[in-house]
Amino acid sequence: MTEPSLTVAVIDPSPARAAILEEGLAAAGIARVVILPDTADLSARVAALNPDVVVIHVESPSRDILEQMSGLSRHVERPVAMFVDRSDVPMMQAAVDAGISAYVVDGLHPQRIRSILDVAILRFNAFARLQRELLEARGELADRKLIERAKGILMTAKGMPEEEAYRLMRRKAMNEKRKIADIARAIVTAADLLG
Partner 1 sequence: MRLALGYVPLVDAAALIVAVEGGFAAEEGLRIDLVRESSWATLRDKLALGLLDGAHMLAPLAIASALGISGPETRLAVPLGLNLNGNAVTVSRPLWSAMDPGSEDLDIVARAFGRVARDRAGQGRPLTLGTVHPFSSHTYQLELFAARGGLDLEAAVRMVVIPPPRIAEALQAGHIDGFCVGSPWNGLAVEAGYGRIAAFGCEIAPDCPEKVLALPADAAAASVGLVRAVSRAGRWCADPRNHDDLALLLASPHHLGIAPALVRRALAGTVVVDADGTRREAPDFVSFGVAVERPRIAQVDWFLERMAAAGQITLTPALTERARALYRPDLYDGAIG
- Choose among 70, 110, 72: nearest CA to 92: 110
Least distance in angstroms from the C-beta of 51 to partner 1:
17
Rg (CA), the chain: 26
How many other CB atoms sit within 10 Å of the CB of residue 137? 10
Q: Which stretch binds partner 1 (CB under 8 A): 89-97, 106-114, 147-155, 173-181?
A: 89-97
β 30-35/53-57 pair status: unpaired
- With CB under 8 A as the rule, give the number of residues binding partner 1: 29
Q: Does 83 bind partner 1 (CB under 8 A)?
A: no
Among residues 7, 35, 49, 63, which is the contact residue for partner 1, using CB under 8 A?
63
Q: Does 93 bind partner 1 (CB under 8 A)?
A: yes
Least distance in angstroms from the C-beta of 83 to partner 1:
11
Q: Does 128 bind partner 1 (CB under 8 A)?
A: no
Question: Is the CB of 35 or the CB of 82 nearer to partner 1?
Answer: 82
Q: Are 108 and 57 in contact (CB under 8 A)?
A: no
Q: Does 121 bind partner 1 (CB under 8 A)?
A: no
Q: Does 58 bind partner 1 (CB under 8 A)?
A: yes
Question: Is the CB of 17 or the CB of 151 nearer to partner 1?
Answer: 17
Q: Does 70 bind partner 1 (CB under 8 A)?
A: yes
Among residues 35, 82, 160, 173, which is the contact residue for partner 1, using CB under 8 A?
82
Question: Is the CB of 73 or the CB of 111 nearer to partner 1?
Answer: 73
Least distance in angstroms from the C-beta of 113 to partner 1:
15
